[in-house]
Structure 1
Amino acid sequence: MSFNCLLAKSPSDPEHPAAGETLVGHVRHTLETAVALLDGWGERYLRTMGLPEAHEALLRRAVLTAVAAHDMGKAARLFQNLLRRTFHGPMPLPHEVISLLIVLQQPQLERWLFCGEDPLLRPAVLWAVGGHHLRFDGGTAQDRPAQTARMTVHTGHPDFQDLLALVQRYLKLPDPPALPDLHLRLGDVEDLLRSWLFEQHRIARKFSELDRRLIALVKGLLIAADLVASTIPRQGLNPAEWAAQAQRRVLEPADLAPVIAQGLKGNPARPFQQAVAESPGRVTLVRAGCGTGKTTAAYLWAARHARGRKLFFAYPTTGTATQGYADYALPVEALQSVLVHSRAAADIAYLLRDRHEEETLGTGARTGAEERQRDEALSTWGVPLVVCTVDTVVGLVQNQRRALFGLPSLLQGAFVFDEIHLYDDRLFECLLRFITALPGAPVLLMTASLQPWRQALLEERLRAVGEKLAVVEGPAELERLPRYVLHQASVPDALSRVAEAVAKGQKVLWVVNTVERAMALAEDLSKQNLPVHLYHSRYEYRHRLKHHEALIQRFGRDCPGPAVAVTTQVAEVSLDVSADLLVTELAPPEALIQRLGRLNRFAALAGEGTGSAQPHPSVRSCLVVRVEAPAPYSAAQLEQATAWLAQVGLGRLVSQWDLARALEQVQGGRPPASITAEWLDGGPVSVPGAVREAGSTVSIIREEVADEARASRQEAILRTIPMLLGPVAKEIRGWDRIGPACVAPAGRVEYDERWGAKWAESRNRRAADPAN
């Protein structure tokens, strides 16, 4: 079989493919895009990653050579048939592995590409080529049809020779070799690759940290250029011009002025906020409690340190990211910004539901996680402000697609990481690797109270690369302001105090540790005719959004009258409310501090901003209720919580400063988590790694609403519920799927819009139900 032309993409018209659908056309687009990125920002990329400017020529040669070779494997006869829909797979080998084999099995081609160059060039190029789809795990075997014992690759095709001629012009190489078609014996491939990988791992062990960074940079830029060249031509645009224009959109001096003015509300910046803004450190840690103006201080910092860069404001959860976007970025219409996380499409539609802008939102169905991640990543290219979850940023060190697809923007970035005390150990270690792998990027870290061992580890990692951590403490007059009195209480005592508070027209927040107990408590309080609002994570997302908004409004300063919110751990990070009475089950100290941040949240200095600030006498009570079983926490965590309460002191006036200092007294050091950062440490192997520790929940959609969920990705998000995996772990593999969510059979989930979801009773005893 012969082909008139070699394709790189499935053509809309097989007889007349568009230029970008052909192999030569796609590689030309990718080369042009890579050149645009390197010409405009190559020096910055090197500075950001702490690489010497002398590596600029090597970086350019490696990236362009990787681009030249990355899709050569698509010249395989089977792949050409696949693109023409005359073969329906599976491919016996991924096309990127075939690309690798073409170079390894054609000595004259390998000599032509690499002759006389830096010894780092060959592994940088070949590892990028084999790994540019992030699925090269060192294994090669796939389901192999019997008729494909041999594979023909059309390296002798005129289009392949045209491809080599194109590469010659870009790399200024001598005349390319004339190649015959390549015939691969698939039975020999595994041994060949196994031997090659063994040798590459041996080589990788000799590389320095700077070598590994350069190799990672080459792979990342290949992936980014390939993304743009694959997607932008479909919109009728020139990919290189689009990439350059998008990357030029950075923060200008005046861009953040409206955001800052909105945060200051007509007041001058506090000395604490000025200290944050003027911090001289490349990495600055801000330790300040609730109500101190940390977020506004962060934007003041960004106005100085992110000028001429793209600003990434990273939050620990989707909920906090959306809230931060809604409170600061969205109201400033003149500021180009984007919200990026897994639920962003649904959240933005909800935020804009009363505005005409909703008409511009893309709500069509998407096909697969990778396409969604491509769309999300491309949205970060052309805006100066990205509000996102931390995964969007530090996922880079673990080969997460969304981060790698947006690498050129990240390499131009300045970064704010909020509430870093909420990171699990693995996520915190990924943060440290990110900070040290990009030593030219300004970083601001914010926390109410960072665990002492984590601050020590952060300082140690920075010292190892010759840097010092700058620390800015919160304003003493607010940090030491008496806000709370803590008491231990039984459930009956707490119920009595709640009734009293409601009678006085006060707002009550009751936080429990499991969804199951929260639902039972809310039903009991409702039967007592108390104004109860239940809020946890186990709702369909559309109903969770409504519950969140209703609770925020009910606790608003302009909404008089009593309210009782019964919540789970979701209150710790996503509820910007201020209660008059807090009731909480015993939990780890960090969780209790977060919960206390929702009590008397807006206590401040009387007369602040008038020049006569004095301590405000307002103090509120927190009742701590012991639990019979520690789940979802460990007994050791609750023992530490008891010790922390003793250190804080019950029955006395305490401040946020007291809470943080008590935490330092009871927390010992922990050994640092040991992780492999796949982007930096993977060597020739290229697969995504985990950013967070494994969870115990699964996303489900009830079969009763599955038809609506299938209408579009946004509709699927709105009907998704995070549920505990344990009770259905043995049956879930047989369930249908809608995107990443499993479809629970009809009747398997008991659901009520007010109370939420729970698994229907089954023969299996329900496992402990940690809140999500």
Structure 2
Amino acid sequence: MNTDDILAKSASHGGELSLEDHTRHVMEAAVAVARATGHDERLAMLGAALHDLGKAHPAFQSKLRAMKTVQASNTILHRHELSSLGFLPLVDRSDWPAIIDMVVAHHKPMHQPNDMFGKGILDLEDRSHTWQQDHLAGWDAWAPGALAVLEKLGVATHPIPRAEAETAIQFAVQHCETKRKGWSAWRGVLQAADHFASALQHDAVGQLPTLFDAPDLSFFNRTAPLYPLSLEGADQPQQHTLIVAPTGAGKTDYLLRRCRGRVFYTLPFQASINSMFRRMLAANTGGHVRLQHAISQLVEERGAVEKQLQSLVGASVKVLTPHQLAAVVFGTPGYEAVILDVRGADIILDEVHTYAAQAQSMVLEIVAALARLGCRIHIGTATMPSVLYQELLRRLGGPAAVAEVALPAETLRQFDRHAVHKIARDPENPAAWPEEADDILAAALAAGEKVLVICNTVQGAQQRYKQLRRQFPEIKRLLLHSRFKRGDRAEREQRLEQDFNDPAKPGPCLVVSTQVVEVSLDISFDRMLTEAAPLDALVQRFGRVNRRRTTETIGKLKPVHVLEPAPSCLPYDRAIVQASFAQLPEHGQGLPEQELQARIDIVYPALEVSNISTHVIWDGDRCRLRELCNNARSVLVDVLDIESTACILEADRQAYLDAKWEARTMLEIPVSWRSMYAHKTKYERLEVGNMPFVVPGNEDYEELGLQFEDHDSFL
């Protein structure tokens, strides 16, 4: 039998691939994952060898080829992994439990409670009397082909009578029925290997030798008097780190100096992780440096292999948002592989104060879960309410487990760099942009300054930009927010850092943005005008002004202007915004760094987080889920209210239909589902890709981004 004719994947799923080739790739990856995570390499190899053999079943092959001639494909529900269980007699009976864990649920959980359409092994056992016979239908005809694949892969085989295959499947059912609460590391091993091999296919083997190498972080041992944390030792014996220090104090380098192994560097916003990824590449850390979010392939022109690696197990350094780690808290699909990936690694949580109540709750639960998994957790921020600090300290195990780092008052005084001015609104028209703000802006641009204007919503930023474009048509300008095509957004971030921020290119210039610029973008403006926001967010925004520290700039203040809170402070709580505005100095007075903590604690006297404990899968060290099961992805969406959708411009409709996945991604404009809900019946929705809505008009997109009437959105 020609094993090349037995396919594992079709052309529409990443390229036609034989079962022999795919199985070889997964076996190689499984051995590497097992070696890195301390599991039996022999068992991992056997599980990988058997995991997809059921794809030789004619029902799967006919479906893959979209043929209608084989009746089995039209009359049965076929799960190829369940057919694969018939090959268990090839291995020793003592190996069956681990191999079943790898094979039976590497795609679907073994049971999906409250789902009448569940496709797990126990779901089928409950509702079908014929599923076992269906999955072994025609056994004598197709099993030899699967055995021939194994022979070519160097795995010893022998003929398996159908009766033995039936006994193996019945054993697997009984094994699954005895499962109790917990999580299966073996399921994680196979899922990680299968995902990795499926993404890279023939390139997988070349990536494996260095996949789990620790990075070389020696670059970050640099010292400079202007960065006081670079002069502090980072060899404290405590496992974890908590650091609060001003922007520009060397916090990023210090957090990385505290790391000892593989690094997961988390940040809250797309722009900030894009910037950090570029910084890590420039540091020449060796091994894989990977970016993990929906548009990572658009940040740099990298090779195809690196683009596919973005969401896979392994990497010396990963730069990502905490949402990519949320699976370990909520038990969503693939959470076992994520646990294996992060266990024992160094996790940096940068700027943890920026998350809203639901996401802040998630971050706190992530901290607790990662601590249980033996991770070294390093938390840094420029501002943090004391109540949040104390809660993080508690979850990390208290002072005995945490190196607490802060700068002395004398050093903090060197970071006083902003003169704060408050701008009153017109009582007769409090929603309007104040005339005083326009006058300040005109004078600043006339003086050749680089000015940053920050609005709290996308719609507000677009309106402000249009007005300033009319007022200052000759001034170099840029608008930055989330509603640009993903490819355009990445290009604008680079322009912001490399053009508008270049000291060799003097002003005047004008950038209008939402708060996507708040965190980790290394930009420095001469002046800022910003809408009122929570105090911790304002401090982050102020950090984009007078950011470059030299011996000449220390002690010199540059102006930041804060508009009085408007009637609507969306997306923020108005009471918090008003309390924050009251804590700001005025009339050009400085905002002393050493007073920030006291002012923030007045604004945030209590910790405002949501109770998500009913959705968390951990009860102390015990997993509440049943082994080989997981929660649906909707749990993460429901708890965090982070569901989003995609739009495309009507002008891009045909290009999107004709493009492959990666090109489609570049055309997409992410929009929150909450913002899109009111328009969902107005626009055509495509049935391909990420099913984007097609938005007409937008002739001014190139400057303004996507526009339609919708609810305020702040990202």
How does the TM-score come out when normalised to structure 2? 0.77
Do the aligned residues in 2 keep the contact of 1:156 with 1:181 (CA within 8 Å)? no
Call closer, same or farther: CA 1:9–1:483 in 2, change over 3 Å: same
Call closer, same or farther: CA 1:73–1:414 in 2, change over 3 Å: same
Deviation at 1:742, TM superposition (A): 0.5
Deviation at 1:699, TM superposition (A): 1.7
Call closer, same or farther: CA 1:259–1:574 in 2, change over 3 Å: closer
Aligned to 2:689: 739
- Where do residues 556-635 of structure 1 align in structure 2 (5 Å cutoff)? 556-573=502-519, 575-603=521-549, 606=552, 616-633=555-572
- Where do residues 614-693 of structure 1 align in structure 2 (5 Å cutoff)? 616-633=555-572, 637-651=573-587, 652-667=589-604, 668-670=606-608, 672-674=611-613, 676-677=615-616, 680-683=623-626, 684-689=628-633, 693=640
Call closer, same or farther: CA 1:225–1:697 in 2, change over 3 Å: closer
Do the aligned residues in 2 keep the contact of 1:648 with 1:659 (CA within 8 Å)? no
**3-state DSSP class of the match of 1:245?**
coil
Q: Does 1:98 align with 2:74?
A: no
- For residues 173 and 752 of structure 1, the distance between their equivalents in structure 2, rounded to whole angstroms, comes to 61
Deviation at 1:736, TM superposition (A): 0.6
- For residues 662 and 52 of structure 2, the distance between their equivalents in structure 1, rounded to whole angstroms, comes to 33
Aligned to 1:225: 193
- For residues 36 and 576 of structure 1, the distance between their equivalents in structure 2, rounded to whole angstroms, comes to 37
Equivalent of 2:345, from 402, 405, 413?
413
- For residues 564 and 142 of structure 1, the distance between their equivalents in structure 2, rounded to whole angstroms, comes to 55
Aligned to 1:726: 677
Call closer, same or farther: CA 1:81–1:728 in 2, change over 3 Å: same
Call closer, same or farther: CA 1:428–1:702 in 2, change over 3 Å: same
- Where do residues 54-453 of structure 1 align in structure 2 (5 Å cutoff)? 67=48, 70-71=51-52, 73-74=54-55, 76-83=57-64, 85-87=66-68, 92-93=76-77, 95=79, 98-99=82-83, 128-134=102-108, 137-138=112-113, 139=115, 141=117, 151-154=134-137, 156-157=139-140, 160=143, 178-180=161-163, 204=180, 207=181, 212=182, 215-228=183-196, 230=198, 234-235=202-203, 239=205, 242=206, 245-247=209-211, 249-251=213-215, 255-258=216-219, 260-261=221-222, 264=223, 267=224, 272-275=229-232, 277-302=234-259, 305-306=260-261, 310-330=262-282, 332=284, 337-349=289-301, 360=303, 375-378=309-312, 381=314, 383-398=315-330, 409-411=341-343, 413-438=345-370, 439-453=373-387
Deviations 1:60-93 (A, max 9, x none): 7985775576446546442243345535967854
- For residues 5 and 506 of structure 1, the distance between their equivalents in structure 2, rounded to whole angstroms, comes to 67
Count residues with an aligned counterpart: 662
**3-state DSSP class of the match of 1:754?**
helix
Report which stretch shifted further, 509-518 or 547-556. 547-556
Equivalent of 2:706, from 743, 757, 763?
757
Deviation at 1:638, TM superposition (A): 2.0
Equivalent of 1:461, from 386, 395, 404?
395
**3-state DSSP class of the match of 2:483?**
coil
Aligned to 1:700: 647
Q: Which runs of 5+ in 2 are unaligned?
A: 426-433
Deviations 1:398-435 (A, max 9, x none): 56678866776544632222222223444444444444
Do the aligned residues in 1 keep the contact of 2:102 with 2:189 (CA within 8 Å)? no
Deviation at 1:151, TM superposition (A): 1.8
Q: Does 1:528 align with 2:466?
A: no
Q: Does 1:512 align with 2:455?
A: yes
Do the aligned residues in 1 keep the contact of 2:419 with 2:557 (CA within 8 Å)? no
Do the aligned residues in 2 keep the contact of 1:701 with 1:742 (CA within 8 Å)? yes
Do the aligned residues in 2 keep the contact of 1:288 with 1:475 (CA within 8 Å)? no
Q: Which amino acid aligns with 2:448?
A: G
Deviation at 1:702, TM superposition (A): 1.2
Q: Which amino acid aligns with 2:30?
A: A
- For residues 597 and 43 of structure 2, the distance between their equivalents in structure 1, rounded to whole angstroms, comes to 49
Do the aligned residues in 2 keep the contact of 1:484 with 1:622 (CA within 8 Å)? no
How does the TM-score come out when normalised to structure 1? 0.72
Deviation at 1:735, TM superposition (A): 1.0
- For residues 437 and 65 of structure 1, the distance between their equivalents in structure 2, rounded to whole angstroms, comes to 31
- For residues 666 and 233 of structure 1, the distance between their equivalents in structure 2, rounded to whole angstroms, comes to 53
Aligned to 2:430: none
Deviations 1:670-711 (A, max 9, x none): 355325356954324235535572237532111212333443
Aligned to 1:717: 665
Aligned to 1:366: none
Call closer, same or farther: CA 1:663–1:248 in 2, change over 3 Å: closer
Call closer, same or farther: CA 1:99–1:677 in 2, change over 3 Å: farther
**3-state DSSP class of the match of 2:576?**
helix
Report which stretch shifted further, 567-576 or 133-142. 133-142
Do the aligned residues in 1 keep the contact of 2:454 with 2:529 (CA within 8 Å)? yes
**3-state DSSP class of the match of 1:416?**
strand
**3-state DSSP class of the match of 2:421?**
strand
- For residues 496 and 52 of structure 2, the distance between their equivalents in structure 1, rounded to whole angstroms, comes to 53
Do the aligned residues in 1 keep the contact of 2:78 with 2:134 (CA within 8 Å)? no
Do the aligned residues in 2 keep the contact of 1:320 with 1:573 (CA within 8 Å)? yes
- For residues 441 and 467 of structure 1, the distance between their equivalents in structure 2, rounded to whole angstroms, comes to 16
Deviation at 1:440, TM superposition (A): 2.6
Q: Does 1:473 align with 2:406?
A: yes
Q: Which amino acid aligns with 1:719?
A: L
Call closer, same or farther: CA 1:276–1:727 in 2, change over 3 Å: farther
Deviations 1:521-563 (A, max 9, x none): 2222232236353322222334434443444422433322323
Call closer, same or farther: CA 1:69–1:337 in 2, change over 3 Å: closer
% identity of equivalent residues? 22
Call closer, same or farther: CA 1:26–1:519 in 2, change over 3 Å: closer
**3-state DSSP class of the match of 1:277?**
coil
- For residues 362 and 33 of structure 1, the distance between their equivalents in structure 2, rounded to whole angstroms, comes to 15
Deviations 1:410-465 (A, max 9, x none): 4463222222222344444444444444433222222112344433332333339x
- For residues 328 and 286 of structure 1, the distance between their equivalents in structure 2, rounded to whole angstroms, comes to 20
- For residues 595 and 414 of structure 1, the distance between their equivalents in structure 2, rounded to whole angstroms, comes to 28
- For residues 63 and 515 of structure 1, the distance between their equivalents in structure 2, rounded to whole angstroms, comes to 49
Deviations 1:464-513 (A, max 9, x none): 9x973332124644533322333331212222222222232222222112
Call closer, same or farther: CA 1:471–1:91 in 2, change over 3 Å: farther
**3-state DSSP class of the match of 1:533?**
strand
Q: CA RMSD in A?
A: 4.6
